[in-house]
Structures are given as structure tokens and as C-alpha cells.
Structure 1
Amino acid sequence: MFGRGFLDDDDTQATFGLGFTSRFGGLSGYDMEDDVVDANMSAYSAYGESDVIIEEPIFSKKRLGFKLPPSTSIQQVICAGGSAFVVLSNSTIVRRALSGAEADEEIHPIPRKREGQCTVERVFIDPTATHMITCTVCSDGHECFYIHLASPKLAPYTLHAVKRRKITAVAWNPLAQRGDPATQPILLGDAQGSVFEMTVNHNDHHAQQIFSVSDAPGGIIGIHLDVQRSSKLGSRFYIILACAHRFLQYMGPPGPEGQRFENILKRHELSSGGQEAPVLPRSQLSIYQRFPSTAEAMAWMTPLGAYSGHFDFANALRDESTAIPSFNVIPYNPATDRVGDEADVPESLVLTEFHLLLLYPHQIRAICTVNNKQVMDERMPTAAGRFQGIVRDPTSEDVLCYSEKTIYRIDTANETRDLWRLMMDKGNFDAALDYCTSDDERNEVHAAQAAYLFDNQEFGRAARAYSKTDVAFETIALKFLDKQEEGPLRTFLEEKLHRLSRGDITQRALLTTWLVELFLNALDKAETAENSATYERTMEEFKSFLEADASRRVLHRETVFDLISSHGNVDVLLFFAQLHSQHDVVVQHYIQMGQADKALDVLKQVGNEKPQLIYQFAAELIQAKPHELISLCSHMHLYEEAVEMALTVDLDMAVEQVRRAKDDIDFIDQAREKQLWLRIANHVIKVKNDIPMAMDLLKQSVLKIEDILPLFDDFKIIDPFQRNIQRSLESYNKEIQQLRESMEQSTTSARAIRADILQLNKRVERVHGDMMCDVCEYPLLTRAFYLFPCHHAFHKDCLMREVVKYLPPSQCRRVNTIRQDLRDLPPTAAGARRALALNAKLDEIAGQDCIVCGEIAIEMIEKPFIPKDQLEAYIESWSTGGVDLGPSADDEEFGIDREAPIMDSFT
């Protein structure tokens, strides 16, 4: 299957990989040129022989708009710290922020006094883009220079410790932070196979050779330095040394200052960590790392293919064998699978998370490291010239490839597009789900996982996986039924039920009913096999299922009762009946089984809510457990029923129920107690026909002879209870005599009171001219006044103002109405007569009691000084220094004006 890339004249981006090519407009930081992209770009599918899938491409490339100065070419590109460092043939370096947010910066890596004498050969920059080492070729040999990139004003200086050394590889210390003034100890490798340990800062450095790799044609082509921490072993440094034909691993504790790594390289080579291959002069080491995290994978270019593997540092810490348990040799041309063909060896390679990108002079190829399949093979634009290298930024994961004339940015953001399918095909379903981006993809993975588990007879796990798919419900059910696996089928139905929405009532009802049948079948099988453990476990699961709110809402009770009854499982029947408050079914079952005690226990639990159950089953229970049933009725305050039932058993028990009822003052009054005694008396007289016993009831009850006389026949001989009638009549005679005496006493008292009232109307009090009002303390005779028997005297208006303060709202409203009527009266004779009547009413209100020593004054003792509705205002006034209290809440509610003037017109 081929995908095609399409490019119009105004396009600056080409896309490649499995699927259909998409187009993007120009982006910030890119120039548009027409002639550098070949329109015929083909891609090969690594994921099957299906038809073209219209999807976003796995990779796309965009030319970095970089204008070369005249007569210069690109010599090297380094990608670090989110920036591209372009080394030009005129020995200058241009720094470009890949985000496009900053202007280009020109860097001069060679001291000014040596410019023109040295030519840049290779540049090394740490991942944070803080430190840069430049290796040059000078007239007197190789020299290296250092510059601190975070301090642009600092000039580069010579690293004399490695003078005359051609540095070919640098490993930066992973403990270093962005902007640090010094590098911390780092490793350098040269063309002779020597390894140096060096510490560099902005103005000084210290270095010494600590190791040398024998038989290393081409010297050290790559070094990697990582650090691992162990709670038991402490810090351990991990080192990779790669040569043209050898790959070595080391791990050990750090040494003293200045010799951090010497002891590791000399004494701690990992026993199984070495690899050898035929010599490849342009061999290269690529490490996949998301800085500052530890490295995850590596790729080493050899003539036989790219050796790749994932790091397992825990394995190296455990047995010091290797940090790469297995190597995967990836052929450079999977289409031919040729090994050792020099034409297939790329110019450069770089490792991404899931792909190996191979750069050739005029093409780029991508191979998936998961399955070694080629996913892209693209011809690069001829006008771009010969491509030299491909690099990756470990901090931002940007990938750049470059030729002598131009730079391309490779977008790898979509490289996980088909990872879910690859992982699924390899049986790694959990990882496949991690890379799914849509419900359709997740559904396909779950379906594949379920099929795999089903084929391997892991039916329980298969059921859970199938429940997450949209595979036809009937298809899955039949698969389990064909295998006679009702347990997993039950699991599948339960999981499916949980995933249904509440609105799918019909489907939920069908599933729950089917699950009930499956649970009952499982219980039958466990009981038949006499497997008590399985029976109990299944029973608990079944009860939990029936109790679940989701099941209770949709189960059809009658259908479920029929199913349970057809299986004859009494335990489930009783549980389901109680769960759905079908207590009559439970009680009826216990009675039929002769278990009256259990039936009574149920009635004790629900009798208060459903007293009708006691009436329904009283006839059966009174025969089996009479005393217990009667006690239950009495306990539930059903005293009439308790007495009626007791009379069928024992008269003394009936009397005991009445006495117990008498103590229940919340439910029994004298009238109801009398009715209970009459029930007993009626039973004694009409059923037992026991006259002496009836007479005995009169002694121990509230009944009297006249209460029970109507119960006897009309022609009954009264001789047996003649004496009782006589005593009753004598008692009535005494009561009548007492009543007569009481009435005579009441009449005498009434006459005395009437005489006192007449005398009050004739009482006279002498008023002196110098008497004062007890409210305003002005002469009393200046205006209308009140004089009380207690000798307190008040002006009428003063008294009224004080009285209204203590009147209830209804009286206050009445006073206000009378005041208003007095104001509205016309100055006529009729008005005068009306005024006299109204003032009489005011006199009735104001003159009923003395406000100083009467009942009003006594009641005021319990009244708070501050009304409750004004208490908060008073408290606030203590802090603010004053309070303006309006009328109380009651006055506002009833429209009462307690401060209105007292009108004394017509008086």
C-alpha cells in the first residue's frame, strides 16, 4: 500500500508515512520557497496490506527558513535546549529558537585572536544549551574552546588540557542544571580512544585522561553518562563507550573529586554489556532521552544494522550484568532485509520514542522499532543538496535534518498514531489501550483482547473484556453458552448492566431477569454438588445483586417470584420477599413450616407499619403461640385485640392485658380502659354466664353496677346482685347530698360577692389640693385623673401613656381605634354623647388596675428590660456610642402607635 505526498506551489511542508497526506499553511518562523520539495513522495505501510486509510500522517517535514550568508554552507546542526545551533563554514554559529519567539543570535566560538587560524570541525552542546565545546582544526593541530552560552558577554577560551586532541564525543553530566556556572564532571572521548574527565566553568577548567579503549579504530564515536540512585547502593553512574566496532557498558559508584569516573571505567565494566560488530568508520550512537529523565533506549549504527535496545537499569543494579537485557538488530532496508550492504548504511540516524529515522544523502527512511517495519521512505528535494545529519533535542524532542543548503524540521508528534494496533497485534493490550485516541480504537482493542482470552479459556477475564466492546450482545452470549460457561456469562451480563444508562429500562429489566435465572441455576448446581463454599459465595453474590439499587428499580417482582418458586429455593424466596416488603409471604411460609416463632419475629419487625398482618394471621398464630401473640399485640398498643385474643385463652390473661394498658398513659384514657373492662364483663356474663365472677369484676375495675346491668337478660333474676345494687344506690345518695351542699355553699358565696360589689360603688376617697400625679408629679387636680383604692393617683393622659406600654397587641389596637374615633368626632351634642361612650371604654381599659402595685406591675417582673427583637441593636450601641431604636417587631406587625397623644376631648 502506498501513500502519496502532494505539494502545490505555495506549500512548504511535505508529509509522509502511512495514510493520506495532509496540508498545512505557513507557520511562524518559516520562509516559503517553491523549489525545494519533490512532489513525488511515496510511503510504505508497516501495519498491514489494507487499503489507503485517510488519517493524519505519522511524520511530516517543514523546511526551517534559514537564510545562508553568501559563500557559506551548513557544516553541522546541534539541537539542544529548544534551540537549533547552525555551524557555518565560516566558523560562526547561528542560534535560532525553534519556538520562533526570539531573534537569531550569532555566536563566535573561536577567540578573536585565533580567528582565521582555526576552522570549526565539530561542536558539542549540553542538553540545557548552557555549555558549548568547539573542536577546531588549527595550523598547529587540533584545539578545543569553551564558551558559557548563558553568559553571552563572556568570550570563549582555550581548553589547554586537551590541546592537540581531536575530540569526537562528549558526555554531559546529568546532574547539571540549566544556567549552572560549571559543567560538573563530564567525559570526553578522542580519535585515539582516550577518555578524559573534565570540569569546565566560564574561565577555568581541569581535565585528565582516565581511560583508554584499546583497539579502537576511529576512536570514541559516542559517550553517554547517566546516574541511577538506589536506596541500598546509593548513587551509581552508568557509562556507555561506543567505538566504530565496539559497544561497552560500565556502572559503579563515583570516585573522589577529579576522578569521579576513573574507577568505574577501570573496574566496573558490566559483564554482559559489550557488543562487537565490523568496523564502520561513520558509526554513530543515538540515545533516546526525555531530559532531565534518565535515558530510555539507544541505537548504535553498525554495518550489520542498527543495534537497538531499551535500558533496564534495575537489572544492572541487581546483578551488574547489563543495562540492556536484549538487543534488537534493525535492518536499514526492511524491504530487502539485507545485512552488510554498505549502500544501505545511512549517513546519520536518530532514535525517537518508537521509530528509528535514517538519513541518506537524498532520502529519509523511518523504521518502527516495535516491529522493525518500515513506515516511511521519502526522497528529499534534489535542490536541497546532499543531506549530512539528523539530530534530536532531548529537552523538546524536536528533530532536525540538514544538508549543506537547508534544514528541515521533522514533526514526530503523531508517531504514536498506529501504536495501539502494533501493541494489540503483539498481545500487549494494556499498552495498546494507552495509545488509543478514539472509542473505535479502544473498542477494537477490547474485542481483540476478549477473543484472545476466550481462546485461551480465560473466560472470566474474557467476559469483562467483552463487556467493554460493542460486539453484538447475542454473539457473545452464545459463545459462552456453547462452552457451557454460565459463570463468565453472568459476569458479562453484570458488567454490561453496569454500563447501561438509566434510561435503558427495557434492556436493564431483561438483563436483570436473565441474571436472576443464572444465579438460581448456579445455586442449584452448587447444592446438587454439595459444595457448601460455592453455594454460600454464590448466595452472597446473588443477595448483593438483588439488593443493588440498579436491580431493584427494574426487576418485575411477580416474574422473579415465579422464577424463584420454580427453582424451589426457599432461602432466596424469603430474602427477596423481605427485600421487597412482601412480609405476608414470609409469615405465611413460616406458619406453613410450623415455625411460629420466626413468624412472630417478622411481625415484631413490621407490625407497627403493617398491623393488618396481625389480623391476617392471628387465627393461625393464636393456636400455636397464644401467649406470645397476645404479648406482641399488647407491645404494639393493640389492647382491644390483645383482650379479645386473651378471652379465647384465659380470663386472667385478659385482665392482665387491661392492667398493662392502664399503665400506658399515652394510649389509654379512662373511657378506653372502661371499654376494655366491658369487653371482659360481656364475655363473663354472656359467654361464661358467671354472675359471681361478674360481681367480682366490679371490685377490681372501674365498672359500676349500672355499666353491666344492660348486659343481663331482661328477665334475669336480680337476687345474686341485689346487694350490689343496694350499695350502688347508697353511693348515689351520698354523692347527691354532697352535691347539694356544694351548691348551697356556692350560692352563699355569690351573695357575698354581689354585696361587696354594691358597696364598692359607694366608696369615697378624699382628694387633697396638694396631691400630685404619681407619673408626672404635677398637681393632680389640674386635669382629669384616676384615683385607685391603693391611694395611687394619675392624670388620665399620664396613666394611658403608661398603660399602653404593657398592653397586648389586641388591646393596643383597640386603644388606637378609640383615639382615632375621638379625633374624628364633630363638635355637636351627638359627638359629645359619643365621646362620653368612647371615654368610658378608655376608662375600662386604663382604670382596671394600678400600674404601680397592681397585676401589671407584678407581670413586669418577668419581662426583660430590652425586647428580644431590639437586643442586637442595643449591643451594637455599646460599641458605637448610641442607638436609635424603633418600635418593636410586634408593634410594626400590628401597626401600633404607643406614643400617640391621648385626646381628652369631651371629658
Structure 2
Amino acid sequence: MTSIFDQYEQDSQRSKQVAPPPIRPDISSTGFIQMKMKEDGPIFTKQKVNFLPPDKITHLSVSSNMIVIAMSNNVLLRIDMKYPDKPEEIDISKYITNMKLSGLFLDPLGFHLLLALVSKHNDNPPAELFYLHRKTTKLKQAGKFRGHEITAVGWNFGNTSEVTSGPILLGTSKGLIFETEIGLDGDKIFNTSLEQYWRQLPNYLPLYGNKEVEGLVFDIGKASKPPITGLEFHKIPNTDKYIIIVTTLIRIYQYIGSVSSSDEKPLLQQIFSKYLNMKERFNQLESSLPYSKMQFFYPGPGAFPKSFGWLTETGILYAQVDPKVDPENVLVNQQMILCPETSLIGSGTSETGLAPLSFILTEFHALLLYADHVKGISLLNQDLIFEDIYNDAFGKLVNITKDPMTGSIWAYSERTVFKYKVIKEDRNVWQVYVDRGEFELAKQYCKDNPAHVDQVLVKQAEMLFKNNDYQKSAMIYADTHSSFEEIALKFLQESQIEALQVFLKKKLEGLKPQDKTQITMIVVWVVELFMNQMGALRGDQTSHLHNPKYTELQKQFDSFLAIPKVEECIRKNRSTIYDLMASHGDKDNLIRLTIMHRNYEEVIRQHLYKTNYMEALEVLKSQANKDLFYQFAGILLQELPRPTIAALIAQGSQLKPSKILPALVSCNSDEKHAKEVIRYLEFCVYKQGCQEQAIHNFLLSLYARYKSDEVMHYISSQGQDVTMVHYDVHYALRLCQEANLTRACVQLSALLGLWTTAVDLALTISVDLAKQIAAMPLHHDDELRKKLWLKIAEHVVREKDDIQEAMKFLQHCDLVRIEDILPFFSDFVTIDHFKEAICNSLQEYNQHIQDLKEEMEEATKAAEVIRKDIQAFRNRCTFVLARDTCNTCDSQLLLRPFYVFPCGHRFHSDCLVAALTPMLSMDQQTKLADLQRQLTTISNRPEDTNSVISVSLSTKDQIKADIDDLVASECLYCGELMIESIDKPFIEEGDYERVLKEWA
């Protein structure tokens, strides 16, 4: 048999195309383009299975890719989708004689199959239940349930065993619910657990006819005995609770409870037991249909169900499954979805009164099965979005089902099997949620599509704007790509300044650092808005500070200024922002802003503008930019001289006095300021050791004007060496002359070497001062000293006419004699006044003459001794023996010309010259070389005439005599040259290696 799933065909079907809302022009300008490479196909696509059944299909069940098909010829077709080319045919004719198949139930794993059989004509034979395992082809009868028509099976979705089904629930046509566990043991069906259930059942057992029903756990209808059309149970994740959902033709029941032990049997009896004596709770919908259908949607294999649907004549009761909302009701947000009466095929088609035969649920849609077509409706807005018309050749549609594990959808008619493929069913979900105003859900289903997200945000913002929730609207508008100008204008038209601020600040957050123009525009605008608001609240200079609204506005403004992006923008556009604030007269915020951005220059300017000099000084002291001290010290010194000088002194060596000097010069207009300036200059000079001449000159000028008594102290501290003082002496002398500080002028004149002037000035003050100047050891000119003392003596004699005082000068200065001062006295002075002085002077002269005589006698004696020595030396001779050798080369002395010294040392001429040359100076060496060259030249001349010979000889002798003066003036070993060379090494540095080799 060829594969039955290898070919598919498309049949007649219609889908409602949902066009997305148009993209606004402003969005397209920002990069969002509404473009599709191809049209999206329908959400549901039908594929016909290439399969021709031998007889009519009556039932089909699918789970875990295992499909079981039942046909009217009593043949089961079991197909594993992993091996679609190998279907299994199972003949069940012998098991269903005079019976028909009423239900086909396959467990979630696809291993356990239950077949419910009923009599074709009457109750004889009674209803039967058969079991078929996946690994066998033989049906096994479940005899315990004989006589009960099974209409619903609640499979155990937590079961993972391929051998047993685990605890399951069976619902009957009489409203009874059984709990059992079935499986296959070899060729026999085992149901031992059922007997265990029977033994553990409580004493209360509802009656079925006139006998007790074994294995029964609950009776839904009790007296009415309605057939059970749907039955499922699930364990709530991470709890010990179970939920059991049961539906009948018109009712839906919920049973919720905890299970104390999962090993206890019967398992679910623990839940049903609490409802035995309670009034039943159910939802009821009137319906005349002989059937109802229950479906769940599972988000994944083995997952807890997400939604629930129940089909009745009225429509589909749809609800979300959430056990967290209400402990007694897990079906929340219930709504009735009406079955569509219109058709997508033909605008006027209507199906009034027709109810679907069956349906299945997907995440957002429901597929409704009718006799000849299938419709798809949205669970969100109940729109008909899909319709599929079936050909009569396929026969009537029988049912539609869904694989609970894989989610595949199967529909089948009497002759054909179809499969529906779901393609991007959530593609338009976001639009539905937008229309319903559920914007958060809409964002979740935009699939990170920026264009769709933007449209959702725009719709949400528009709704909030209409509801007058302007600030939230602004927050969301800022996240959209709507026209900036359009949105800003909307808020301005409504006078919603706060919302506009929110919009601008949020928009600012989304800008990148490179968007400098946009950032600057928004920052300036927001600052302007804040200035306007705060200006409106600022009634006067103090009352607004206690206004809570103003305080809150100030906090918001401070927070805005603290944003890093705003700080950077203001730093780059500082003047613009400052001018803006200044134009609103908001000096407080301007100062706060400048402090925040460490623009201390502007902070100080603002304080000075507001005449807050002390605050300006405090800011100046707290910052680290020393240039600001030079810039603002002048203004602050005028207003706060003492605190400012204290601040300058506190800075110590960090400030350069020469740079602060202009400020100091500008504020010494009165004594109060001058004294503070002097205090700083004294700190610089005496504590910091400043040597800058301008500082010393300025200090000296202030001393001369305001503290003249300090001038002499200052001059004395600088010393009496004109090259070592740090002030301009000439400038200082001029200042002192202008200030009539004569004593200081005396000192300065002496410092400049103007001794005569200094003495003249000193004599105007006191003779003692003039004596001090004359006695100063700074001059060594005896003639000058004598002149100064004579000037003092003349002053004393002529001005004071004090002869005794004049006589004392002879004791103070040894250069002055009585005869020097006699001309200063008048002609009428008698010699008696000078008798003692003249005698002393004559005695000194006499003693001096005697000393000179003695020196002359000693010189004469010495000269006589020298003459005798010279005479004796002329007659002295030295004997040279043939065996005598040169003291330098140890060769015989008589072999070459030689020198003999009085000390007895003998040297060859060439040896002496060679040894003596290194000891001579460079000039002497040059002269010696020149003499030797001349001697060689003369010696090589031819002897032509006697005159020439005599001239040459005399010249030659002179040259030799000059050479002798250079090399033979003293002994090499005994003369001064040897003494001077005592510090020279015996071996020259370059001769070390040679000498070491010779010694070795």
C-alpha cells in the first residue's frame, strides 16, 4: 500500500484578510516602512490526505501522532505518523455482533485505546467496553463495565507508562463517573486496581436500579441521570490539588480538591467525597441539541490547559483556566461566543438555526465543524476569519479533533481525512487587543515588530489623552515615532505644561549622544518651561520659598539638571542657559546651576551681582581654580579687606604674589586697606621667602606711606650687600627722600656706595651715625676713609666748635693726623689745645724713622753676603770622570753633550730635554721647539765668509743660551719643577698595559 500522507490538495476555502492599520507619515519618515515581500496566506490551510478508505469513516481519534480510524465495515486502521506507509488494519467484527461503535477514546500517549459499544436496536446485548493496546491487535473486554455506555473518558495526562493508563475517569450516559486503571498483561487485560477501588469505596454508594454499582465514585445527575458528554481532570502544577471538569448536555460541573496521597486508591475519590453531601454547583445553558462538546487548549505537550470551550446550542462558552483566582472556580473570564450566522462565501448567505457538530480550540481561534463546511472564528473579537467549503463527493463531515500532545488538527468526512495547518495565527492578535484597549497584551503579541509596537503605543497614548490622563499619555507618546512637533502642539493647545515637560524629558532619554542638536533644543525648552512655572509662583523674594508647589517644582528642576545628558548639554551651552535664567530673574537657580556644574566663576559673579560678598568669598575659598583668586581678589579686597587677606594667606604658596599684585595695588586707597595689604605682603616676604622685586618695592612703598617706622627694620633685614637685596635700591632711595626718611636715606646711600652723601646726610642727624657710616668695613680705600673722617671732623670743628671732640677723631681713625685737622680750626686757637696731640704725632714720626733705619741696615748686610756668594760661585769647578753616567739613561756621560748641575746631577742634553719637556707649560714647550728649529737651521748653513761665520756663531750661542735658560736653569731632580709635579702619577694612564706586560 502506498503512503497515504505523501500528497495533499487544497480545497475551496476563504479567509478574511485583515489589513494592518495604515502607517502614519511621520513614522515612515523615521525609518518604519509598511512593506511586505509577499502576502501572508490564510491562518488555517486544509490539506487533503491522499487516502481512500474502503468504507465510510465513523470515528477518528489522534494523540501523540498516533491515529486510529474506525470504519463502518468494523475495521480499525491504526497509523503511526512516524511510519505513515505502514498502517495496521484490525478487524473487530467478531467483537461487535449486533452492536455498533459509539465512542473511540485514545489516551494522550497513544498507547491505550478504549472502544465503547452499544446495541444497534435495543438494550440486548447491553453496552460493552473494549480495550486495545498499541502493541497488540486483539481487543480485550472490560467486563466490569458491561451494561454501562461509556460516553466520556478522563485520561490521566500525568501518566508516562506505556503499560498502564494510570487512574482514569469514565463517564456514562446515565451520569455516573467511574475511576479505574486499565492495562494489558500479556494477552489479558488486568483490572486489579478496580477491585481495589471497590474495596476502598465508602459505605455510601448510589443505587443503579435495584443494585449497588461497583467502582462508582460519583453520580452527576442522581435522579435525572444526564449523559456525560465531556470529562477531564488535571493536577494543578506545584500543588496537591486536582480539578475535574464534567459536562452534560446543558450543564458544566467543577470539582476541585486536594489529594492527601497520590498512592491512595481510588485517587480522585478523595476529591469527589467532599461533594457527596453538598448541593451541586454548576453552570447551565439551555440547549435542545442531543450533544455538547468540551475542548481544552494546551500550550504545550503535557502542559496545564490554558483555556476551555464548551459547545452547546447557544454557542461556545469560552473561559480561561486559572486556579489562582478563585479556589472554587478555575474557569475565569467566562464569555459566550456565538456561532457565526454569516458566510465569507457570498455576502448574503445566512445559516440561522444551524449549530456546529463539533469544534476544536487553538490559542486564539476556534474551528467549528458543520455538515459541509468548517468555519474559523476569533476568540478575541468573535469575527469570522475563515471558512472552508467541502465537496459533496467527500460525503458529510463527521467530526474535527485535535492531537492534545502535538496540536495537529484533523477533520474527517465519511470518505476523506483532512489535516489543517495553522500558520502564524497570532499575526493580527495585537490589532484585536488594541481595539479592545488591552494594550499590554497587544505589545506582547507584536513579536518585537517596531512598527506594530509603535502603533499600539500611539493608540494607547491617544486613549489616555482623550481620558485627560495627560502625563501618562505624554510618557507613552515619547516612546512612539509620532511627529515631535505634532505631539508637543497637542499638549500646548490643552495648556498641559506638566505633561509637555514629561514628554520632553522622556524624549530626551531616548536620544543618543550624537543627537546634539535635538538634545540642546529639548534641554533649553524644558528649562524655559520650568522658568515660566517657577516665575509664576514666585510672588516675592521670600514667600515662594514656603510654597509646597514651588518646592516640589524646584525638586523636579534639580532632578532634571542632575541628568548626565542634561549636565553635558548645559556644560557645552553654558552661556545660553545662563542668559535664559538671567532673563527670568531667577538668580537662585542660576547660582545653584553654576555650583552644580562647578562654574565657580559665574557663581562668584552672581554673588557679587547680588552684593553677597561674603558668600562670594566662601565660594572662592572652596574651589580649586587659583586663577579666580587673581580675578576677584581686587573686588573682594575693596569690600572685605581683612577676610580676603586671610583667605589669600590661607592659600599659601599656591598663589603667586606677582599675579595677585594688581589686586593689591588697586585697593590701597586708605590706611585700613593698606594695612591689610601690608599684612599679606609681609607674609609673602617673611614667611614665604618671596624674592620678586615688585613685591618688595610695593611693600617698601606702603611702609614709607603708612608705617615709616618699619622702613629701617625692612632695610636692615635685607642686608648691606647691594647684590643680595630684593628691592630696587634707587627706587627705595627716591621713596625715602620723598617721605623725608633721612635715616633710611643714609642707609640706602651707603648701600649704593654714595659714602660722601651718606655721611653728609648722617651729619644732619647725628655725629654718631656719621661715624658708623665712616667706620663701615664695606670700603677698603684708605684715602676715602680718611676723607670721610675729615668731613666728620670738619663738621665737628666748624659746626660745633668742639676741640675736645675733634681730638677724639685721632683715636678713632688711624689715618687722620693732627696736621690733617689743624686747618679746620680758627686762627685764634692756641697751640695749648693741640700740645699733647702734636707731641704724640712727633713721637710716632720719630719711631717710624728709627724703624726705616734698621730696615736699611739689614738690607745692606744681606746684599754684601750675596755679593760674596756670587764671587765664590764664579771660581767654582766640577770634575767629570770618564766613568760618570747620565742620571736618566745610565749611559756614559761623555758620549754626548751634557749638563752638570751644582747639586751633582748629570744629564745628557737630549735626555734632559726629553724628560723636562712634559713639565714645561705650553708656551715654554712652543718656545723650546722654535729654538731647537732655529739652532738646527743655523748649524746646517754653509760657511762662506768669516763675517757670516762670526754672525752665525754669535746667533748660535745666543740660541743655545736661550735653550739653557729653559732646560738648564734648575736641576731636573732638585728644582721647583720636580716639586710642582709631585701630584702626577709615575706611570701615565696609557702606559699601564705596556708596563704591566714588562713587569710580568
Interval of TM-score (by shorter of Structure 1 and Structure 2): 0.5 to 0.7
**1:830 aligned residue:** none
Instruction: Report deviation, 1:840.
Output: 8.0
Instruction: Report deviation, 1:216.
Output: 5.8
Question: For 1:579-658, what aligned pairs fall within 5 Å after superposition?
Answer: 579-580=596-597, 582-606=599-623, 608-609=624-625, 611-636=626-651, 637=653, 638=655, 640=657, 645=664, 648-649=675-676, 651-652=678-679, 654-658=681-685
**1:537 aligned residue:** 552
Which of 39, 47, 60 is equivalent to 1:63?
47
Paired residues of 2:464 and 2:472 also in contact (CA < 8 A): yes
What secondary structure does 2:412 align onto? strand
Instruction: Report deviation, 1:446.
Output: 1.6
**2:171 aligned residue:** 189
Which of 270, 274, 286 is equivalent to 1:267?
274
**2:744 aligned residue:** none
Distance 1:162 1:843 in 2: 132
**2:584 aligned residue:** 567
User: Is 1:678 matched up with 2:696?
Assistant: yes
User: Is 1:329 matched up with 2:311?
Assistant: no
Label 1:847 to 1:296 Cα distance change in 2 as closer, same or farther (>3 A).
farther
Instruction: Report deviation, 1:349.
Output: 0.8
Distance 1:417 1:155 in 2: 47
Question: For 1:251-650, what aligned pairs fall within 5 Å after superposition?
Answer: 251-254=256-259, 257-268=264-275, 272-290=281-299, 291-317=301-327, 320=328, 322-325=329-332, 327-335=334-342, 343-437=353-447, 438-528=449-539, 530=544, 532-554=547-569, 556-580=573-597, 582-606=599-623, 608-609=624-625, 611-636=626-651, 637=653, 638=655, 640=657, 645=664, 648-649=675-676
Paired residues of 1:110 and 1:156 also in contact (CA < 8 A): no
Which of 654, 661, 669 is equivalent to 2:688?
661
Label 1:718 to 1:845 Cα distance change in 2 as closer, same or farther (>3 A).
farther
Deviation track 1:882-904 (CA, whole Å, cap 9, x = no partner) reads: xxxxxxxxxxxxxxxxxxxxxx9
2:265 counterpart letter in structure 1: G
Deviation track 1:176-207 (CA, whole Å, cap 9, x = no partner) reads: 3x346443322111222211011234433323
Label 1:520 to 1:489 Cα distance change in 2 as closer, same or farther (>3 A).
same
Paired residues of 2:341 and 2:352 also in contact (CA < 8 A): no
Distance 1:276 1:623 in 2: 97
1:236 counterpart letter in structure 2: K
Instruction: Report deviation, 1:66.
Output: 4.4
Paired residues of 2:674 and 2:706 also in contact (CA < 8 A): no
- Decide which structure has the larger Cα Rg and report it: 2
Paired residues of 2:587 and 2:606 also in contact (CA < 8 A): no
**1:125 aligned residue:** 106
Instruction: Report deviation, 1:153.
Output: 6.9
Distance 2:772 2:994 in 1: 61
Distance 2:498 2:558 in 1: 16
- Which stretch shows the higher mean deviation, 632-641 or 511-520? 632-641
Deviation track 1:676-697 (CA, whole Å, cap 9, x = no partner) reads: 983476336654583x533323
Distance 1:625 1:260 in 2: 95
Paired residues of 1:288 and 1:353 also in contact (CA < 8 A): yes
Distance 1:445 1:254 in 2: 45
What secondary structure does 2:181 align onto? strand
Instruction: Report deviation, 1:581.
Output: 5.0
Which of 772, 777, 800 is equivalent to 1:729?
777
**2:829 aligned residue:** none
- TM-score after normalising by structure 2: 0.62
Question: For 1:4-153, what aligned pairs fall within 5 Å after superposition?
Answer: 30-32=5-7, 37-38=11-12, 41-44=13-16, 55-68=39-52, 71-89=54-72, 90-97=74-81, 102-104=83-85, 106=87, 121-136=102-117, 141-147=126-132, 149=134, 152=135
Label 1:170 to 1:335 Cα distance change in 2 as closer, same or farther (>3 A).
same
Paired residues of 1:109 and 1:156 also in contact (CA < 8 A): no
Deviation track 1:717-773 (CA, whole Å, cap 9, x = no partner) reads: 35677687678737999xxxxxxxxxxxxxxxxxxxxxxxxxxxx9xxxxxxxxxxx
Label 1:631 to 1:122 Cα distance change in 2 as closer, same or farther (>3 A).
same
User: Is 1:166 matched up with 2:149?
Assistant: yes
What secondary structure does 1:344 align onto? coil
What secondary structure does 2:61 align onto? strand
**1:12 aligned residue:** none
What secondary structure does 1:323 align onto? strand
**1:245 aligned residue:** 250
Distance 1:422 1:449 in 2: 13
1:454 counterpart letter in structure 2: F
1:537 counterpart letter in structure 2: E
Label 1:343 to 1:216 Cα distance change in 2 as closer, same or farther (>3 A).
farther
Paired residues of 1:64 and 1:409 also in contact (CA < 8 A): yes
- TM-score after normalising by structure 1: 0.67
**2:233 aligned residue:** 225
What secondary structure does 2:492 align onto? helix
Instruction: Report deviation, 1:623.
Output: 2.5
Instruction: Report deviation, 1:309.
Output: 2.1
Instruction: Report deviation, 1:223.
Output: 0.4
- Which stretch shows the higher mean deviation, 326-335 or 349-358? 326-335
Instruction: Report deviation, 1:487.
Output: 0.4
Q: Give the count of matched residue pairs.
A: 690
Deviation track 1:348-380 (CA, whole Å, cap 9, x = no partner) reads: 111222222111121001122222222222212
Distance 1:344 1:430 in 2: 37
Distance 2:136 2:720 in 1: 120
What secondary structure does 1:520 align onto? helix
What secondary structure does 1:511 align onto? helix
**2:846 aligned residue:** none
Distance 2:228 2:552 in 1: 67
Distance 2:775 2:95 in 1: 146
Distance 1:156 1:731 in 2: 145
Label 1:536 to 1:30 Cα distance change in 2 as closer, same or farther (>3 A).
farther
Instruction: Report deviation, 1:95.
Output: 2.8
Paired residues of 2:461 and 2:477 also in contact (CA < 8 A): yes
Deviation track 1:118-155 (CA, whole Å, cap 9, x = no partner) reads: 87553322333343333346995544344554xx3797
Label 1:336 to 1:357 Cα distance change in 2 as closer, same or farther (>3 A).
closer
**1:745 aligned residue:** none
Paired residues of 1:96 and 1:102 also in contact (CA < 8 A): yes
What secondary structure does 1:649 align onto? helix
What secondary structure does 2:385 align onto? strand
Paired residues of 1:249 and 1:274 also in contact (CA < 8 A): no
Paired residues of 2:75 and 2:93 also in contact (CA < 8 A): no
Label 1:342 to 1:614 Cα distance change in 2 as closer, same or farther (>3 A).
closer
Paired residues of 1:249 and 1:270 also in contact (CA < 8 A): no
Distance 2:719 2:554 in 1: 58
Gaps of 5+ in 1: 1-27, 663-671, 734-761, 763-838, 849-903
